[in-house]
Amino acid sequence: MGKVTVAVAVIGGAAVCAAAALVVRHRMQISKQCVKSADILKELEEKCATPTSKLRQIADAMTVEMHAGLASEGGSKLKMLISYVDNLPTGDEEGVYYALDLGGTNFRVLRVQLAGKSGIEFQEFAEVSIPPQLMVGTSEALFDYIAAELAKFVADESEKFRLPAGRQRELGFTFSFPVLQLSIDSGTLIRWTKGFSIGEMVGKDVVAELTKAMERQGVDLRVSALVNDTVGTLAGGRYDNKDVFIAVILGTGSNAAYVERAQAIPKWHGPHPKSGEMVINMEWGNFRSSHLPLTEYDNTLDAESLNPGEQIFEKMISGMYLGELVRRVLCRMADEAALFGDTVPPKLKTQFILRTPEMSAMHHDTSSDLKLVGNILQDVLEIPNTTLSTRKIVVEVCNVIATRGARLAAAGILGILKKTGRDTIKDSEVPKTVIAMDGGLYEHYKEYRHCVKNTLNELVGDELAKHIKLIHSEDGSGIGAALLAASHSQYI
Ligand code: ADP
Ligand code: MG
């Protein structure tokens, strides 16, 4: 009996030892994976680094391109488009107006009643997501879909929004793509960006296309202002705050607009505006510079995108792309460092599967075991049982990509401040600069939003930072378009 017991004990001991050895080997493998992944992470951090000196170079390059884009049509990657808005809302606007805001993901329709100094009395919204197949189909299909939604929205109009008999409804059309405007209410599409690609639309007047679709759908609405979302946000922001001077969108894509002196626009050959000013839609998404910290992930994302070689700045900073950049880094870690096991998880190979809202949720996970990160890896990428160290690496990748994006966005803002002479304290008269910010990325990605603000403060210094304010202009682009429709109404 005794012998047997001993024998069992020996066998049991061997089993325990073998299991322990397995655990040790497994741990060593994990730590080896993590060490290799950490190397890739370190390389990523180095390549994505945005020290203040680099941001200043980027801001300077932005300023140079702004000058070039204003000098002549096609003079720069920055289109610096003339918006035909030379007067921003004053607060005296009155009447019922409609707005249609076509972004990169959704479109919104709204109805506002402007009541002069007593403000916006009432507004109604309807938000509709754009079916992906319509983003790459025909212009007729896209605009018919939008016009049909507009028809439903107009049909729902309540008594209090009725216009006097014989007066046509008027619409401000916010169109968040590069358009060469010919007047306040017309403009031809230069090219698509974000997820859109409808070749036959390029070169066509977007207002004419919408108007034809509204006629087909039996909607009686006149487009009285065509505005970019940045211009709409600037107008909406100015309505609330007279110091709003710049607008920046950080949503699916990214862009900025600001108020320029008409005399500083050599390519403008139209009549000199009474205000002496003109709003410029920069189309800053297409900015590029040798100072931008581009990585292999950016280069392959760009090469495989719908618009290779274009919108390089946008691809580094905006909501459509941040999650995809994280996915590309994780893919390399999975492939070269076996971060998620012996094989690359199949889902991780799918482009755009990891969206920025999920990246943001992982980045903000404050639980001690990063449970939410584990859940997202499981639910979105079908990667089960991740260890805490793996999750930590994933969060760090999100942090590096978001931080780079936010710091570059702040450098872009510094570029505008420099161009307009608002970047230094020259004398005691420091103009107050309020920047109207909007877009789902800015609104929902807290770490990103804070990083934009902190970086801007770091760049301008504490003293000047007191005179520069970022405000979130919620739905400013739609309301701004309605306000511009009012100031360009056929009835005034
Ligand atoms: P658009 O740019 O299409 O006009 P929005 O301004 O609403 O629309 O921005 C939508 C974009 O904002 C999404 O494509 C996404 O990238 C980003 N976004 C939305 N929600 C979040 C979130 N919770 N965290 C991070 N980014 C988000
Ligand atoms: Mg938008």
- Cβ neighbours of 273 (radius 10 Å): 14
Residue 397 lies in a domain: no
285: Cβ below 6 Å to ligand 1?
Answer: no
User: Which pLDDT does position 28 carry in this prediction?
Assistant: 59
Residues marked active site are found at: 176, 191, 229
> pLDDT at residue 350 above 50?
yes
Q: Which domain holds residue 92?
A: 84-240+476-487
441: Cβ below 6 Å to ligand 1?
Answer: yes
Residue 202 lies in a domain: yes
Give residue 492's pLDDT band: very low, low, confident or very high (50, 70, 90). confident
- The end-to-end CA distance of the chain, in Å, is 108
> pLDDT at residue 2 above 70?
no
User: Which pLDDT does position 117 carry in this prediction?
Assistant: 87
Q: Fill in the DSSP letter of residue 115.
A: E
Domains identified in the chain, total number: 1
Give residue 105's pLDDT band: very low, low, confident or very high (50, 70, 90). confident
Each residue's pLDDT tens digit, 445-458: 999 999 999 999 99
Check if the beta carbon of residue 419 is closer than 8 Å to that of residue 63. yes
Q: Fill in the DSSP letter of residue 144.
A: H
Residue 300 lies in a domain: no
Residue 176 lies in a domain: yes
Nearest Cα neighbor of 407 from 302, 322, 290 is: 322
Ligand 1 centroid vs 295 CA: distance in angstroms? 24
User: Which pLDDT does position 26 carry in this prediction?
Assistant: 57
Ligand 2 centroid vs 251 CA: distance in angstroms? 6
Nearest Cα neighbor of 352 from 290, 295, 301 is: 301
Residue 195 lies in a domain: yes
CA gap 255, 280 in Å, rounded: 11
Ligand 2 centroid vs 254 CA: distance in angstroms? 9
H-assigned helices in 99-205: 132-135, 139-155
Each residue's pLDDT tens digit, 237-278: 999 999 999 999 999 999 999 999 999 999 999 999 999 999
CATH number reported for the structural domain that contains residue 144 in this entry: 3.30.420.40
CA gap 13, 372 in Å, rounded: 39
Mean pLDDT of 110-119: 92
Ligand 1 centroid vs 443 CA: distance in angstroms? 8
Q: Fill in the DSSP letter of residue 72.
A: S
CA gap 259, 88 in Å, rounded: 9
**Ligand 1 closest atom vs CA 438:** 6
> pLDDT at residue 13 above 50?
no
Residue nearest to atom 7 of ligand 1 (CA): 440
364: Cβ below 6 Å to ligand 1?
Answer: no
Each residue's pLDDT tens digit, 419-438: 999 998 877 677 899 999 99
Ligand 2 centroid vs 367 CA: distance in angstroms? 32
Residue 67 lies in a domain: no
* CA dihedral over 238, 240, 243, 244, signed as positive or negative: negative
CA gap 132, 138 in Å, rounded: 12
375: Cβ below 6 Å to ligand 1?
Answer: no
User: Which pLDDT does position 32 carry in this prediction?
Assistant: 72
Name the residue with tokens 């390389």: 43
Query: On the CB side of 152, how many CA atoms lie within 13 Å of its CA?
Result: 11
139: Cβ below 6 Å to ligand 1?
Answer: no
Nearest Cα neighbor of 37 from 368, 397, 466, 370 is: 397
Ligand 1 centroid vs 444 CA: distance in angstroms? 8
> pLDDT at residue 226 above 90?
yes
Each residue's pLDDT tens digit, 28-66: 566 777 789 999 999 999 999 999 999 999 999 999 999
Record the tokens describing residue 375, joined without a space.
Answer: 């859940």
323: Cβ below 6 Å to ligand 1?
Answer: no
356: Cβ below 6 Å to ligand 1?
Answer: yes
Mean pLDDT of 369-373: 98
Give residue 104's pLDDT band: very low, low, confident or very high (50, 70, 90). confident
- Around ion ligand 2, residues with a beta carbon closer than 5 Å are 103, 229, 251
166 alpha carbon, distance to own chain's centre: 40
User: Which pLDDT does position 475 carry in this prediction?
Assistant: 83
Mean pLDDT of 314-323: 98
What pTM was computed for the model? 0.92
**Ligand 1 closest atom vs CA 176:** 4
Residue nearest to atom 14 of ligand 1 (CA): 252
> Which of 106, 252, 452 maximizes ligand 1 atoms within 8 Å of its Cβ, making it the mutation to test the pocket?
252
Residue 180 lies in a domain: yes
From residue 305, how far is each of 100, 274, 351 by CA, in Å?
27, 43, 10
CA gap 239, 463 in Å, rounded: 27
Record the tokens describing residue 39, joined without a space.
Answer: 């190397």
Contacts of 71 (CB under 8 A, 6+ apart): 266, 267
Residue 266 lies in a domain: no
CA gap 477, 480 in Å, rounded: 5
> pLDDT at residue 17 above 90?
no
> pLDDT at residue 27 above 70?
no
Residue 99 in 3-state DSSP?
strand
Give residue 115's pLDDT band: very low, low, confident or very high (50, 70, 90). very high
Contacts of 448 (CB under 8 A, 6+ apart): 250, 360, 402, 405, 406, 441, 442
> pLDDT at residue 306 above 60?
yes
